[in-house]
Structure 1
Amino acid sequence: MSNALTLEGRHALVTGAGSGIGAAIAHTLAKAGANVTLAGRRREPLDAVAAEIGTRAFVLDGFDVTKAEAISTGLERARQAFGAVTILVNNAGEAPSASFEKTSSDMWSHVLSVDLTGVFNVTQTVLPDLKGHGEGARIINIASTAGLTGYAYVSAYCAAKHGVIGLTRSLALELAKKGVTVNAVCPGFTDTPIIQQSLETIMQKTGRSREEALSEFTKSNPQGRLIRPQEVADATLWLASPSAGSVTGQAIAIAGGEVMAG
């Protein structure tokens, strides 16, 4: 591990850490030397990730990003395990699909509550730790290319992720002189359990083969493939590292050229 990427002695809190991108990020930060709090609602998947990581991992189940009490109680438990949080990765999110006309107000409210307000809730609670650490503290929001462009049938998700990027940019300016950087990582369609579930749904509803269903997700990627969770994790590691100290307020697309942010 390059000294420029070492996170030895740091405490990273990763939400939605039980699978997919969150699990890959947790593994990668731990390999770089960080102690990692794996936060999520369900214990079983968190335990599985923690077993793979070892002593650098602490499991924080019952962590609902929509509930202030669960966040504050969870943060106290995390502090007892590893001390103040110095790297926050907001990864928890949901992406249900429906046409705009069939998007109920309950679905709309739920997606914004988890994907956008959840980032607000967790960040505001953890912020005193980050500001107390000062130089080198990091907030990394896992957004999406849906926050940089539009996709049909996920209007609530697109709205939430656009909001996450706006929040990222605003907070980056507020914290620039505090030594805390704030950035967003924006993956395109990524090979995660959510995508695999979507493939199964498409196959069942349309009778298409897996290859035909997969083409719906890869056709807009110039590289013609899904993004790998590790690629998102590697970008997150760089943003968390000392070498990214001058990078803040950015929305970095990990999408094979599908979206070129400027």
Structure 2
Amino acid sequence: MSVSRICVVTGGSKGIGAAVAADLSAAGHRVVLAARDREALDRTAKVLPGPVLTVPVDLTAPDAADELFGRVEGAWGPAEVLVAAAGAGASAKLTGTSDELWEQQLALNLTAPFRCVRRAVPSMQAAGWGRIVVVASVAAKTGAPYVAAYTAAKHGVLGLVRSAAAELAGSGVTVNAVCPGYVDTPMTDATVAAIAARTGRGEEQARAALARMQPIGRLIRPEEVAAVVRLLLENEALNGQGITVDGGGVQS
């Protein structure tokens, strides 16, 4: 993307979203950071080298996508890139997964990206150019114990990506997903703490166990995921893909 674009990054205050935002900003793009935590947004915005707009928003609210994209359009114009990186996991046995937990996971990991994609697409189609990348997970491609709700949501969002890509093919708008394994982010820190609490193991042991789940023997770095996002933004021939970034664990 040699031209400077208006890039919306949800979940942009930390983790993968912050790494994507930093990468895009360094490449000369205008970056919109959207997340719930205003203070975290401000901290991330301060270290970006280029123009940045912060939008504190709860993406699980029904009108959040309209609020977010309306703010962007009012300040800079229509969004040209959407990176939907907001998400969170939760762990529970299948029989211990409450309706509330189930709905929470679908709301954040599936419904919120859907609403953002739906809101972003019309102006991208009108312009004849757009890029959408959803940060999914290896859980979009394979199942694991104790994460039924999270896995169902991530499988669903990969289905959304594939269907949207097929529908928009030839319009100049591409839709893809990245599917990371365990990444060295605050979300993984929370997973480590949950494992330690459930099993009685120390957090160092729990973190080492997660690192071993990647064949390369370590956690994935957020910057490595951001580099794949950038590839998907630059290459129109990549469409409808779910690119796994996990050191070779899920080969697809």
Give the CA deviation at 1:245. 1.0
Unpaired runs of 5+ residues, structure 2, are: none
Alignment-mate amino acid for residue 152 of structure 1? P
Q: Distance in 2 between matches of 1:103 and 1:229?
A: 29
SS of the counterpart of 1:127?
helix
Q: Structure 1 length normalisation: TM-score? A: 0.92
SS of the counterpart of 1:37?
strand
Of the candidates 204, 207, 215, which is equivalent to residue 214 of structure 1? 207
Q: Do the aligned residues in 2 keep the contact of 1:199 with 1:210 (CA within 8 Å)?
A: yes
Higher mean C-alpha deviation, range 52-61 or range 151-160: 52-61
Alignment-mate amino acid for residue 122 of structure 1? C
Q: Distance in 1 between matches of 2:43 and 2:67?
A: 22
Runs of 4+ in 1 over 4 A off after TM superposition: none
Match of 2:223 in 1: 230
* TM-superposition CA deviations, 1:226-260 (whole Å, max 9, x none): 1100000010011112xx11110111000000101
Q: Do the aligned residues in 2 keep the contact of 1:203 with 1:209 (CA within 8 Å)?
A: yes
Q: Do the aligned residues in 2 keep the contact of 1:66 with 1:121 (CA within 8 Å)?
A: no
Q: Do the aligned residues in 2 keep the contact of 1:220 with 1:258 (CA within 8 Å)?
A: yes
Is residue 173 of structure 2 the alignment partner of residue 177 of structure 1? no
Q: Do the aligned residues in 2 keep the contact of 1:11 with 1:85 (CA within 8 Å)?
A: yes
Q: Do the aligned residues in 1 keep the contact of 2:26 with 2:50 (CA within 8 Å)?
A: no
Q: Number of matched residues?
A: 252
Q: Distance in 1 between matches of 2:198 and 2:133?
A: 36
Match of 1:42 in 2: 37
Q: Distance in 1 between matches of 2:198 and 2:101?
A: 21
Is residue 88 of structure 2 the alignment partner of residue 94 of structure 1? yes
Task: Give the % identical residues.
Answer: 41
* TM-superposition CA deviations, 1:63-93 (whole Å, max 9, x none): 2222232221221111222211010111111
Q: Distance in 2 between matches of 1:202 and 1:119?
A: 27
Q: Distance in 2 between matches of 1:55 and 1:91?
A: 20
* TM-superposition CA deviations, 1:157-183 (whole Å, max 9, x none): 100100111111111010002110110
Match of 1:251 in 2: 242
Give the CA deviation at 1:220. 2.3
Q: Do the aligned residues in 1 keep the contact of 2:9 with 2:32 (CA within 8 Å)?
A: yes
Q: Structure 2 length normalisation: TM-score? A: 0.95
Q: Distance in 2 between matches of 1:17 and 1:205?
A: 30
SS of the counterpart of 2:170?
helix
Root-mean-square deviation over aligned CA pairs = 1.4
Alignment-mate amino acid for residue 179 of structure 2? C
Q: Distance in 1 between matches of 2:216 and 2:100?
A: 36
Unpaired runs of 5+ residues, structure 1, are: none
SS of the counterpart of 1:45?
helix
Give the CA deviation at 1:139. 0.7
